[in-house]
């Protein structure tokens, strides 16, 4: 009897927390789909606002996708070798280097962006291009790729596998591409999902680095919250959610997948 009461109380508490998390999201989704939020649902449902957002802000969405993919490519190209390097370095060195690479995550994005601006802001061409934002995103997402790949490499018995390949006459390049890379694919996948999600949602660095011509999705969101009517901000948020929630589901799925494999 007593444990029954306790269960009900705890369930009630947890449901309250869930309400706190879901109510504003649901309200925002509703606001993005109603004709007039001040009047309420009776004004009717519409896709008019979503349409308007698409007309006003579609370039920010494309830029965000482009940035996320470029960021992914670079973090794979430099992150996978870096993880391998960390695996092969002495423990003390590996820890120190990992700590260093983590700094752009440990320090608020605002500080990183300010440092970039003060150091490279005077190179007009670079500062005005989307590559400037890309640099910030790569710094911020690289540790997540390295960590994801490294943790798979550590469980995959790579040294033994490589030794076996070497004893059969494989040179370093053959070993790296035929043994190391295929064995850490699940780590690359987990890291890639993380990198894309973080890059699409990144605001703190991007806001300082963007120019009127290089606005990303979150920058556009902030812009619409400040200067557009509530329905447009909500519809824009809805579009953002539609992009990010599938990625999140995929991250969960990938996590379960790698855990099962181990």
Partner 1 sequence: MKAVSKQPYGAASSLTHRVALASQPRRQNLIALCALLPALVVFCAFWLLPFSRLIVMGAEADRSSGISAYLTILTHRQYLISLVTTVGISLVVSITAVAIAGIAGFFLARQRFFGKAVLVAILTFPLAFPGVVVGFLVIMLGGRQGALAQASLWLFGERWMFAYSLAGLFIGYLYFSIPRVITTVMAACDNLDQSLEEAARSLGANTWQVTKDVIIPGIAPALLSTGAICFATSMGAFGTAFTLGTRLSILPLNIYGEFTNYANFAMAAALSVVLGVITWIALSIARRLAGGNLGASA
Scan residues 62-91 and list those touching partner 1 (CB under 8 A).
77-79, 81-82, 84-86, 88-90
Could you tell me where the DSSP H helices lie in 89-129?
91-106, 109-120, 124-128
CB-wise, 49 or 240, nearer to partner 1? 240
* Structure-token pair, residue 95: 């820890």
Q: Is 190 in the site for partner 1 (CB under 8 A)?
A: no
CB-wise, 7 or 257, nearer to partner 1? 7
Residue (of 69, 49, 67) closest to 57 by Cα position: 49
Helix H or strand E encompassing 208: helix 204-209
* Structure-token pair, residue 208: 């300082």
Phi, psi of 45 (to 5 degrees): -90, 145
- Name which position in 143, 191, 209, 228 contacts partner 1 (CB under 8 A): 143
Q: Is 245 in the site for partner 1 (CB under 8 A)?
A: yes
- Name which position in 8, 22, 123, 178 contacts partner 1 (CB under 8 A): 22
Q: How many CB atoms lie within 10 A of CB 213?
A: 10
- Name which position in 43, 59, 120, 261 contacts partner 1 (CB under 8 A): 120
Q: Is 131 in the site for partner 1 (CB under 8 A)?
A: no
- String of contacts with partner 1 for each residue 24-63, x by CB under 8 A: xx-xx--x-----xx-------------------------
* Structure-token pair, residue 16: 């309250």
- String of contacts with partner 1 for each residue 149-168, x by CB under 8 A: --x-----------------
DSSP class of residue 239 equals H
DSSP class of residue 46 equals -
Q: Is 230 in the site for partner 1 (CB under 8 A)?
A: yes
How many residues contact partner 1, by CB under 8 A? 82
* Structure-token pair, residue 91: 């423990």
């Amino acid at each position: 009897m007593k444990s029954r009461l306790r269960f009900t109380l705890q369930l009630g508490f947890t449901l309250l927390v869930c309400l706190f998390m879901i109510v504003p999201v649901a309200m925002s989704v509703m606001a993005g789909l109603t004709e007039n939020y001040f009047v309420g649902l009776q004004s009717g449902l519409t896709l008019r606002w979503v349409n308007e957002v698409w007309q006003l802000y579609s370039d920010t969405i494309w830029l965000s996708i482009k940035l996320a993919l470029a960021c992914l490519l670079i973090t794979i190209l430099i992150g996978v070798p870096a993880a391998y390097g960390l695996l092969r370095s002495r423990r003390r060195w590996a820890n120190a280097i990992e700590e260093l690479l983590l700094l752009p995550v440990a320090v608020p994005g605002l500080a990183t962006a300010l440092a970039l601006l003060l150091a490279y802001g005077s190179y007009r061409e670079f500062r005005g291009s989307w590559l400037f934002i890309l640099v910030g995103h790569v710094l911020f997402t690289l540790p997540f790729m390295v960590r994801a790949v490294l943790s798979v490499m550590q469980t995959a018995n790579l040294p033994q596998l490589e030794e076996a390949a070497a004893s059969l006459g494989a040179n370093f390049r053959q070993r790296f591409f035929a043994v190391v890379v295929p064995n850490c694919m699940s780590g690359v996948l987990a890291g890639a999902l993380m990198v894309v999600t973080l890059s699409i949602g990144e605001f703190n660095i991007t806001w300082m680095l963007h120019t009127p011509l290089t606005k990303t999705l979150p920058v556009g969101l902030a812009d619409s919250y400040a200067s557009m009517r509530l329905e447009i901000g909500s519809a824009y948020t809805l579009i953002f959610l539609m992009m990010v929630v599938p990625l999140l589901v995929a991250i969960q799925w990938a996590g379960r997948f790698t855990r099962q494999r181990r």
